[in-house]
Amino acid sequence: MKKLYFTVFILVLSLIPIQGAQALDGKRCARVNVTKSFNGVKYICTLEGKVKRWRKVVPASLEAVEVKPVEKTPTPPKELLDQNGWKIPEEALILDKLTDIAWEKGTYASEYINTISHPKVANTTWAKDANAILPGITKILSGSGAPITTKIDWFVWWDLKTLQPLLPDVCWARDTRWFKVESVGAGFCMPYTRDSKAAMFIFYEAYQQWYPQAGFLDKYPNIWDEYGITAVASGEAVHYSQYTYGLKYDRLAHLFHPAWIREGASIIYATMAYAKYHNIPYSTARNLALKHFGNYRCGDVLLTDLLMTNQSDSLCEYSGGFLAVEYMIAKSNDILAPYRFLESKIPGNGKYCPELPGLCKEDYLSVVKEIYSSDVDKWHEDMQAYIKKWGGPIG
């Protein structure tokens, strides 16, 4: 019997710590938020109603440690690149889509272009490509809402001397008093009246001053000059389209259309046609255009100083105008945006300023406000910033 009592006594003693630890939970305490550890268990004094009591938290050995979240380095936005690995803006992707839409909507109108070729160039690669791209520009213009609907002669020629007698009597390319026509290479004979004849032309003799003789007329120096040599034909077709579009509003486009819109638009639509001809996106072709023109000064030349051709010696109505029109189309999501200028309610050709020569600046600003934006200054500033950002060296 004595041995049995001794065993029971030992067992009761072994249970005391556990019972003591359990007994602390719920017992009254003196001060709220005071902590106490007992047999590896942590307790905190809490206020329950009006009574302070001990409550078990966690074992002291497992006490929580504050872990600060690791700050992630922001991932820089992914650069947009064309098929050549050159940077492109988001606006170019919008024109990718608009080009596809115009292409699907448009119909070919190559029957309106009468091609006349000089025997020296007729079978060359350059001439064949220039002729082959023209159906594409008629489809782009048709799908955009400014189709070619009347006939025009397209002269693919060798030299200016034998070309001049074939051009319309009032064509600027027949008059060498104002500038060196031999250095132009291609152009559009603008009808000065409704009854005047129009013509487009290119003469490759002039191209000898820009490109090497090795492979001349059959080999392109590089992919961006291939663009320039080929797309020029489409650009002249755009000028003819601008002329016919202006007639719908009783005005002559070359006297009313600002140079930077007129020339910039001709490059835009020609680039769309070139992209379709080579089965590449507009966003790739537009970088070829910028690299071909290579004029990186245009961010500092104001668009309001590019209202009429030859107003500036920078020729920024071309590459600067191209970027401004690209921005204009992308932001408005209207592929016909550059043509809208010709839709103004100003009668006729507006007030003529001989010093430009052409539309006066006052009327120009009035049309911008009427057609594009009530905040004329902001409208110009946005496009100027776009030219500065994307008008630098390509590739």
pLDDT for the residue numbered 10: 43
46 pLDDT band, cuts 50/70/90, is: confident
- Indicate if the alpha-carbon torsion angle 194, 196, 201, 207 is positive or negative: negative
- Indicate if the alpha-carbon torsion angle 238, 241, 245, 246 is positive or negative: positive
* Distance from the first to the final alpha carbon of the chain: 103
E strands present in 69-128: 113-117
pLDDT for the residue numbered 40: 72
pLDDT for the residue numbered 2: 45
**Which CATH number applies to 90-390: 3.20.20.70, 1.10.390.10, 3.40.640.10, 2.60.40.10?**
1.10.390.10
How many residues in total does the chain contain? 395
pLDDT at 355 over 90: no
pLDDT for the residue numbered 312: 67
pLDDT for the residue numbered 304: 93
pLDDT at 11 over 70: no
Please give the Cα distance from 265 to 329 (Å, whole number).
Answer: 10
Name the amino acid, one letter, at 348: G
Q: What pLDDT, in 10s, does the model give residues 48-79?
A: 877 888 888 765 444 444 545 666 666 566 78
Please give the Cα distance from 279 to 202 (Å, whole number).
Answer: 24
pLDDT for the residue numbered 370: 98
pLDDT for the residue numbered 13: 42
pLDDT for the residue numbered 5: 46
More confident residue, 70 or 131: 131
Rounded-to-10 torsion of CA 117, 121, 125, 131: -10
Please give the Cα distance from 231 to 275 (Å, whole number).
Answer: 10
Q: Cα–Cα distances in Å, from 319 out to 106, 264, 266, 338? A: 26, 7, 11, 15
Residue ranges per structural domain of the chain? 90-390
pLDDT for the residue numbered 347: 93
Helix pair angle (282-293, 316-332), 10° resolution: 160
- Estimate the share of the chain in helix, then strand, then coil, as percent rounded to the nearest 5: 50, 10, 35
CA angle at 27 for the pair 26 and 29, rounded to the nearest 5°: 115
Place of tokens 């009574």: 51
Q: How many helices and strands in the chain, by DSSP H and E?
A: 12, 9
Please give the Cα distance from 109 to 141 (Å, whole number).
Answer: 9
pLDDT for the residue numbered 75: 59
Place of tokens 């016919």: 244
pLDDT at 145 over 50: yes
Q: What pLDDT, in 10s, does the model give residues 330-353?
A: 999 999 999 999 999 999 999 888
The pLDDT > 70 percentage for the chain reads 86
Average pLDDT over residues 206-222: 95
Rounded-to-10 torsion of CA 335, 338, 340, 342: -150
Please give the Cα distance from 214 to 45 (Å, whole number).
Answer: 95
pLDDT at 367 over 80: yes
Contact 138, 108 (CB under 8 A): yes
Q: What pLDDT, in 10s, does the model give residues 91-128?
A: 999 999 999 999 999 999 999 999 999 999 999 999 99
The mean of the pLDDT values for the chain is: 88
Please give the Cα distance from 189 to 159 (Å, whole number).
Answer: 16
